[in-house]
Structures are given as C-alpha cells and as structure tokens.
Chains A and B, each alone.
Chain A
Amino acid sequence: MNDLIIVGAGIAGMTASVYASRYKINHLVIGEIPGGQGTLAGRVENYPGYLSIPGPELMQKLIEQVKQSGVKIKQDKVGGLAKIKGGFEVKTTKEKFQTKTLILAMGAVYRHLNIPGEEKFLGKGVSYCTTCDIPLFRDKVVAIAGGGDSAVTGALHAASFAQKVYIIHRRDEFRAEPGWVEKVRKVKKIEEVLSNQVEEIKGKEKVEEIILANSYQGNQSLKVDGVFIEIGQVPSFTLAAGLKVELDGGNYVKVKPTMETNIAGVFAAGDLAAIQGGILFRQFITAASDGARAAASVYQYLHKGAIPAPAWGQQS
C-alpha cells in the first residue's frame, strides 16, 4: 500500500509531491494532464524568482523536479475513489492502487458562458484556450470574454496575432492585476467593452458576430471571427463528492488551513480546494502553497502528530 497518492498533476499536486519526496513519503502522482492548467497559461510574471516565464515552461521545470526524486507520474484518468480498510482505493482506466492517504488536487475546468451559439461554434470560432488557438486567428477580429488575469493576459497575447481584439467584461473595471491592465491600455489594437456581456454567438458555418447585452458605440452586435471565453473556472469536484468529501456552496472542497478535509486521511490542495475563512485566491503560488501544506499534513497524519523535519539539500 502506498503512503500517499496525489490525484492531479498540476502545480498543487506536483508541489505536494516535491515536499512528500523531501519527507520520504512513498507516493505516486496520477493525473490526466502533466502540468495541469498551468500549461495553458501565457506568461507568468508573479511567481517568485521568475521575472517572466511561459506557463508551460514553468510546469516543465516542476515536472522535472518531481521526476528527479524518482517519483512516477502516471498519465491516466482517475475514474473512482473509495474508502477501504486502512485507507483508500484509487481506480484509473487501467489499474487500481491502494493508499493510506490522499491529496486531491484535480483543479478546475473552464467555466462556460452558457449562451446560445457557444456549444454550436466550439472549434468553429469559440475557444476556451487563447494560448492554443489564437495563432489560428492571424489578422482576424476576435473578442475575449472576461475580466480576470487570464482574460487580460489572453488579450495581450491575442494582440500579437489578431488585427483587432475586443475585451468584453461585465463589470466597469477589470479584476485582473493592475499591472496587466496598464499593459492592455497601451496596446491600440485592444478595445475595451466594459459593463457589457456577450448574449449570443451567431454565424453560418463559423462564428461571424456576437450579440451584446447593451449597445456599444450605437451597435448591438460586433463582427468577430473568434470568441475566446476566459471567465474563470469551476472546481473538478465529482471524484471528491463520490468519496463524500464535504463541499462548500461553490462546489469547492472545504479544507482547514492544514488542507484537511472532513474525512481523515483525505487532504485537498489547489484550485479544487477552498480554505474556509480565507480569500478564494487562484494563483500559481497559492496552489503551490496548498500542495506544500497538504504534504506536511500528510506527514503529520502518518506519523501521528509529529511535525515534519525534512532534510533539505543533498541527501545520501
């Protein structure tokens, strides 16, 4: 039986692994996407120690760090979690594993606008990954829906390909870091459409126009070739719910500051987890911090309350 299985291979799960290796906790990481959502990020400029680094590169470094300790990252989908005697069972599409403890770090998936045309035009102009698809919209006109960091950084990235970028946000100011907003305002190609929303996506074979909730410069619609939806995420809670782990109103796994859930031996970290009483902060660094704390708590759990004293640096 493993001491620990980490479900999810994004920054939270991988950081938990780095710490678990330091604590000599024998463990396994199982995830569908090595690197997780971090691999979809554009440039990351708020991770300590890096002035500016592409998300995929940062995640690649973390994957290398995990593998360096001899930890196996299984690229597979976990289909079910169950309580068994002395621990838990993790079922993937191919195998079954037993473990004394679990760290749930499955992250989150894209939130949809849920408007007419969104599903119909998926892959025909509608995209949830600006980084992936914007190079296919060279010299086209695109709209980005959203006002957080991913929308604003997405708009900046889009401006280097598209001829025009509208950024449409329902509030009158962006939620993104002011530093990014300042950069957006310097790019002439980017036009801000604030206090407005996309209500419908229309076209024949592919996206041709979007209908707005409020008129913008006298028009109720905008001609666009692409719509990039960057309006945040919803936690991947299904597996957790199957294990009867307690969720909050937003379907986030409820955790204490120690990252413990309501079930002994089950911990959660990253975008899936919400520290009760804390700010819901979705950042590389907060996910990493969650992962580190969860690993320390696993150590404490396995060693009946002893606080981990890792041997930092080279080990013989």
Chain B
Amino acid sequence: MALDLTDQNFEKEVLQADLPVLVDFWAPWCQPCLMASPAIEELAEEYDGKIKAGKLNVDESPRIAQNFGIMSIPTVIIFKGGKEVKKQIGFPGKEGYKKLIEEVI
C-alpha cells in the first residue's frame, strides 16, 4: 500500500527514510493522476522492501508541494537520502515509473 503523505509526516516518512521513497503528487480533480494511481499502488507492492511509495495530495498538503515546486500534476519524485534524485512530470505509464525506480535502486 502506498503511504498517505502530508505536510506533517513528510519529513519523517520521506526525508529521513532509509529506503528510496517514490512520492506521487496528485489531486482528486486531476484525471491523469487518478489514472496513475493504480500503477503507483502496484509498484508499491512489487518493490516492497526495496523502495517506499507514497501519495501526497497537493490540495491538502500545499506546503510540501510548493517547497518542491510542483506546478503540474501528476508529478512523481524519487527521494534518496533526503534528496530529490528523479523527477517525472506527467503519467508515463507504469513502465515509465518502473524505469525510474530501476535507475535508483
């Protein structure tokens, strides 16, 4: 299961995590985001133990979204050791996300 990330738990769950963390910035009004959601959930299971995956609703957690300059959704950022290492704007299909993860782990 992808984690529910918020302005409150982002520091602990993402920036201080031991594993790389894939963060999906999304919002309910964004259809391509809803389309990307199942792929994120599947990848969270397939890569369980290798990466963490989480979803951040930009409407409910605007501070984090703003800090990372999110201006288009869906955007996926992979963090490693508290730093942004990969970024994908728009939905590239599940395979596209997979490629991104493979480059990081």
Contacts and interface: CB of A to CB of B under 8 A. Distances in A.
A106 B102 CA distance: 29
Contacts of A93: 93, 95
Contacts of B70: 136
Interface string A121-153: 011111101011101110000000000000000
Contact of B71 (A77, A131, A133): A133
Contacts, number: 67
Contacts of B58: 136
A135 B62 CA distance: 11
Contact-size category for B: 20 to 34
A32 B35 CA distance: 9
A40 B29 contact: no
Given A39-B31, A77-B93, A127-B71, 19 more contacts: A39-B32, A40-B32, A56-B31, A75-B35, A93-B95, A122-B72, A123-B71, A124-B69, A124-B72, A129-B30, A129-B32, A131-B31, A132-B29, A132-B72, A132-B73, A136-B71, A136-B72, A205-B69, A206-B69
B33 interface: yes
A34 B35 contact: yes
A32 B73 CA distance: 17
A131 B89 contact: no
Q: 4 tightest A-B contacts by CB?
A: A123-B89, A39-B31, A123-B72, A132-B30
Contact of B59 (A131, A132, A135): A135
A226 interface: yes
B29 A127 contact: no
B38 interface: yes
A125 B71 contact: yes
Contacts of B19: none
A226 B69 contact: no
A302 interface: no
Contact-size category for A: 20 to 34
Interface of B: 27, 29-33, 35, 38, 58-59, 65, 69-73, 75, 87, 89-90, 93, 95
Given A75-B38, A123-B89, A135-B59, A35 B71 contact: no
A235 to B, nearest CB: 19
B93 A136 contact: no
Interface string A95-125: 0000000000000000000000000001111
A122 B73 CA distance: 11
A135 B73 CA distance: 10
Give the most central of A32, A124, A132: most B CB within 10 Å: A132
A93 B31 CA distance: 22
Interface in A1-42: 32-35, 39-40
Contacts of A127: 71-72
Contacts of A205: 69
